[in-house]
């Protein structure tokens, strides 16, 4: 059962002509349209807007260190070619609206109010809730101690024994980027202790490499080499992992203004491992502060903790070793703390809307982040994958598109449209690990006639994101149609869950169910559909997309859609809100997990009144 907890802080501040002018300048507003089932009364409207005067630094900055190349990549990813931070409003001006992805209905017909959501990314805080009901919090940076000593655990200070040049050569050796079969590191001021430290650091930083000591011309050298070539890199050093330790290090990831998959890519690059050794239960918003559990295969807590000194806007903690990875969907829900700024409407309108949220809940739509921020929605790419139309997949990812994009991506797309030359287009990309760069590298490797293999270079979670987006698109449209057709009541032919099994609600049993019991299927194999008009609507929608609702198995196993069920209406637990006035938008509104760890005082208004209360699962 999915659980959603919410805290909402609605904030009023004095309106001025400047405020109105700023609102008029917004390039992209997320506004809900009409009320449910044809009622034209006003509704709560939430606009997603970053006021440029309030826009926080959205770059995932990296402290200058030996990873200067990583720093350059990160800055390029989050800036345009002139180095200016990219405007969120500009990014969204050609993006999608709710109606584009099937979000068209409301659960209530009260007057409602309007406000701005995510004016600052710190206005939206998400904590993951695990299957056991435990809310994930970052509250401990300590590293667990094993009974068994492991050579992969050097102290923090020892990482300086390798020069930048040594690290570069070792990385190239590890990734098989050159023809060298080994790298020799001279041991200056030779002692056994010094040699031991170098052995430890090389094995810690570069999984897949082994080391030995050699005498050459009267000098001691540490020789690093591949124990088993590419196999060792793909499956790092099983033999060195203590048997008493779980194979997966679980940790809590606190991140600011970065989505989950981007965060994994950054962590994997710094750890010099492949992204697919990480697992998680759900993807979290980019424009937010989020806290979630991550698991990684055979990477020590100490190596992960070391990243806290290298990265900003990320923090890792609450480490533990377990014998299992995490799986998508294995969470109970999320706890939200949300700030709505510049709210308009009377106190009664606000109270009505918030009471409706608490008592009725909300339509459980998939949110806009599921569908991308550009003029090419991710669900279109997913549909092309399911249709086995690989030329269209390639075209949708690489073709020029309207709207604000980073300058180098625009040039890359223009080059592709002009030449269809992967090498020429790739040269326009200073950052190669974006989806476009990964696909172009795949086309270079496998050729234009093997797009399937080229696409397969993209990390699996990124590839599956596209087909899940299509599932979400269908689901949103079908739920809107279901509510339009039957309203907010259970009807005969609806589906409900009994345990893990979906069953139809029979005519004589309807009075025993409410809309909160009704589920709708995500299209895929091994699911059933409602026994009323909406069941036929599913079929019609997939037929229009040249897909067979009775055969969602793809010839490539990864792209076979397994079905699932999702509640139509979610009633959040422990909803709590407060409306306050303020005159300084820079005042923090509540403490994050990181604020608490750093001992920052509780945020207060000038009057000393607390802004927000935190609510937890009972």
SS3 percent helix, strand, coil of the chain, rounded to 5, is: 35, 20, 45
How do strand 518-522 and strand 495-498 relate by DSSP bridges? antiparallel
How do strand 3-12 and strand 573-581 relate by DSSP bridges? parallel
pLDDT at 227 over 80: no
Query: What tokens appear for 371 in the block?
Result: 């569908």
Given this model, what pLDDT does residue 207 score?
64
Closest CA to 291 of 613, 618, 604, 591: 591
Residue 443 — very low, low, confident or very high, per pLDDT cuts 50/70/90? very high
Distance of CA 85 to the CA centre of its chain: 20
Is 285 tagged catalytic? yes
Closest CA to 96 of 288, 468, 374: 374
Rg (CA), the chain: 26
Given this model, what pLDDT does residue 255 score?
97
User: How far is the C-alpha of 249 from the C-alpha of 297, rounded, in Å?
Assistant: 6
Given this model, what pLDDT does residue 78 score?
42
Flag the least confident range among 155-159, 185-189, 224-228, 444-448. Answer: 155-159
Given this model, what pLDDT does residue 551 score?
86
Under a CB-based contact definition with an 8 Å cutoff, are residues 93 and 451 in contact? no
User: How far is the C-alpha of 615 from the C-alpha of 618, rounded, in Å?
Assistant: 9
Under a CB-based contact definition with an 8 Å cutoff, are residues 257 and 56 in contact? yes
User: How far is the C-alpha of 257 from the C-alpha of 104, rounded, in Å?
Assistant: 28
Flag the least confident range among 70-74, 309-313, 495-499, 612-616. Answer: 612-616
User: How far is the C-alpha of 319 from the C-alpha of 342, rounded, in Å?
Assistant: 40
User: How far is the C-alpha of 299 from the C-alpha of 346, rounded, in Å?
Assistant: 54
pLDDT at 52 over 50: no
pLDDT at 60 over 70: no
Q: 129 or 63: whose pLDDT is higher?
A: 129
Given this model, what pLDDT does residue 28 score?
32
> Which of these is catalytic: 51, 78, 123, 285?
285
Q: 451 or 172: whose pLDDT is higher?
A: 451
pLDDT at 296 over 90: yes
Under a CB-based contact definition with an 8 Å cutoff, are residues 248 and 322 in contact? yes
Flag the least confident range among 56-60, 250-254, 346-350. Answer: 56-60
Q: 184 or 50: whose pLDDT is higher?
A: 184
pLDDT at 149 over 80: no
Tally of CB atoms within 10 A around 315: 22
As a whole-number percent, the residues of the chain with pLDDT over 90 amount to 43
Flag the least confident range among 59-73, 122-136, 356-370, 507-521. Answer: 59-73
pLDDT at 531 over 70: yes
Residue 228 — very low, low, confident or very high, per pLDDT cuts 50/70/90? low
Given this model, what pLDDT does residue 413 score?
95
pLDDT at 87 over 60: no
Flag the least confident range among 31-40, 204-213, 496-505, 594-603. Answer: 31-40
Given this model, what pLDDT does residue 125 score?
95
The pTM is what?
0.69
Query: What tokens appear for 227 in the block?
Result: 């124990």
Please state the rounded mean pLDDT for residues 441-456: 95
H/E segment holding residue 214:
strand 209-216
Q: 243 or 293: whose pLDDT is higher?
A: 293
Residue 138 — very low, low, confident or very high, per pLDDT cuts 50/70/90? very high
User: How far is the C-alpha of 517 from the C-alpha of 495, rounded, in Å?
Assistant: 8
Given this model, what pLDDT does residue 8 score?
61
Q: 319 or 119: whose pLDDT is higher?
A: 319
pLDDT at 177 over 80: no
pLDDT at 523 over 60: yes
Please state the rounded mean pLDDT for residues 99-105: 95
pLDDT at 201 over 60: yes
Q: 566 or 240: whose pLDDT is higher?
A: 566
Query: What tokens appear for 165 in the block?
Result: 């040049």
Mean pLDDT of the chain: 79
pLDDT at 525 over 90: no
Residue 617 — very low, low, confident or very high, per pLDDT cuts 50/70/90? very low
User: How far is the C-alpha of 492 from the C-alpha of 494, rounded, in Å?
Assistant: 6
Given this model, what pLDDT does residue 153 score?
55
As a whole-number percent, the residues of the chain with pLDDT over 70 amount to 77
List C-alpha distances in Å: 548 to 109, 222, 389, 545.
37, 60, 15, 9
* Model pLDDT for residues 395-437, shown as the tens digit of each residue: 999 999 887 678 889 999 999 999 999 999 999 998 777 899 9
Given this model, what pLDDT does residue 404 score?
67
Given this model, what pLDDT does residue 273 score?
86
Under a CB-based contact definition with an 8 Å cutoff, are residues 102 and 477 in contact? yes
Chain position carrying tokens 């992960």: 304
Flag the least confident range among 54-58, 219-223, 274-278, 492-496. Answer: 54-58
pLDDT at 65 over 50: no
Q: 404 or 65: whose pLDDT is higher?
A: 404
Given this model, what pLDDT does residue 31 score?
33
Q: 187 or 448: whose pLDDT is higher?
A: 448
Distance of CA 611 to the CA centre of its chain: 28
pLDDT at 497 over 90: yes
Given this model, what pLDDT does residue 155 score?
56
- Structure letter (DSSP) for residue 434: S
């Amino acid at each position: 059962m999915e659980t959603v907890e919410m805290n909402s802080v609605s904030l009023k501040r004095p309106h001025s002509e400047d405020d109105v002018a700023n609102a008029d300048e917004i390039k992209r507003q997320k506004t809900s349209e009409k009320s449910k089932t044809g009622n034209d009364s006003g509704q709560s409207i939430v606009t997603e807007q970053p006021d440029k005067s309030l826009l926080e630094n959205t770059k995932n900055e990296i402290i200058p260190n030996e990873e200067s190349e990583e720093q350059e990549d990160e800055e390029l990813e989050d800036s345009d070619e002139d180095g200016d931070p990219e405007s969120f409003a500009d990014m969204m001006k050609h993006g999608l609206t709710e109606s584009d992805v099937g979000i068209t209905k409301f659960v209530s017909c009260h007057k409602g109010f309007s406000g701005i959501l995510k004016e600052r990314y710190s206005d939206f805080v998400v904590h993951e809730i695990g299957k056991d009901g435990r809310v994930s919090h970052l509250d401990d940076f300590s590293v667990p101690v094993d009974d068994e000593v492991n050579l992969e655990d050097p102290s923090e200070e020892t990482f300086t024994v390798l020069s930048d040049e040594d690290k570069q050569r070792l990385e190239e050796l590890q990734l098989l980027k050159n023809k060298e079969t080994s790298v020799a590191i001279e041991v200056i001021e030779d002692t056994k202790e010094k040699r031991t430290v170098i052995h430890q650091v090389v094995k810690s930083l570069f999984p897949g490499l082994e080391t030995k000591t050699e005498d050459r011309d009267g000098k001691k050298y540490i020789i690093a080499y591949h124990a088993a070539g590419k196999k060792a890199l793909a499956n790092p050093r099983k033999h060195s992992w203590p048997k008493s330790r779980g194979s997966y290090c679980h940790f809590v990831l606190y991140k600011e203004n970065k989505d989950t998959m981007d965060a994994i890519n950054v962590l994997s690059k710094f750890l010099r491992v492949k992204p697919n050794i990480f697992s998680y239960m759900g993807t979290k918003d980019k424009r937010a502060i989020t806290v979630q559990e991550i698991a990684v295969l055979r990477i020590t807590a100490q190596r992960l903790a070391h990243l806290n000194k290298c990265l900003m806007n990320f923090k890792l903690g609450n480490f533990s070793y377990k014998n299992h990875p995490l799986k998508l969907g294995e969470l109970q829900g999320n706890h939200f703390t949300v700030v709505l700024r510049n709210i308009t409407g009377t106190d009664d309108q606000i109270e009505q809307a918030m009471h409706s949220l608490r008592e009725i809940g909300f339509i459980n739509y998939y949110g806009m982040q599921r569908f991308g921020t550009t003029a090419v929605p991710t669900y279109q790419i997913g549909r092309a994958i399911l249709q086995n139309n690989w030329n269209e997949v390639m075209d949708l990812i690489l073709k020029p598109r309207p709207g604000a994009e980073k300058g180098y991506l625009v040039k890359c797309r223009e080059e592709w449209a002009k030449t269809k030359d992967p090498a020429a287009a790739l040269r326009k990309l200073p950052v190669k690990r974006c989806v476009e760069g990964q696909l172009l590298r795949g086309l270079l490797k496998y050729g234009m006639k093997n797009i399937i293999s080229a696409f397969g270079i993209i990390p699996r979670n990124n590839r599956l994101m596209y087909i899940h987006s299509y599932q979400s698109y269908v689901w949103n449209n079908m739920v809107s149609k279901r509510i339009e057709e039957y309203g907010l009541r259970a009807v005969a032919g609806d589906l409900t869950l009994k345990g893990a099994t979906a069953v139809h609600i029979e005519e004589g049993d309807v009075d025993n169910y409410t809309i909160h019991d009704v589920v709708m299927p995500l299209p895929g194999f091994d699911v059933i559909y409602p026994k009323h008009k909406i069941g036929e609507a599913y079929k019609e929608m997939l037929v229009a997309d040249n897909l067979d609702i009775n055969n969602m198995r793809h010839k490539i196993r990864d792209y076979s859609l397994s079905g699932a069920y999702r509640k139509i209406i979610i009633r959040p637990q422990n909803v709590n809100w407060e409306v306050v006035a303020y005159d300084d938008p820079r005042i923090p509104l509540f403490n994050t997990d990181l604020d608490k760890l750093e001992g920052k005082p509780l945020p207060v208004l000038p009057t000393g009144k607390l802004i927000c209360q935190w609510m937890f699962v009972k």
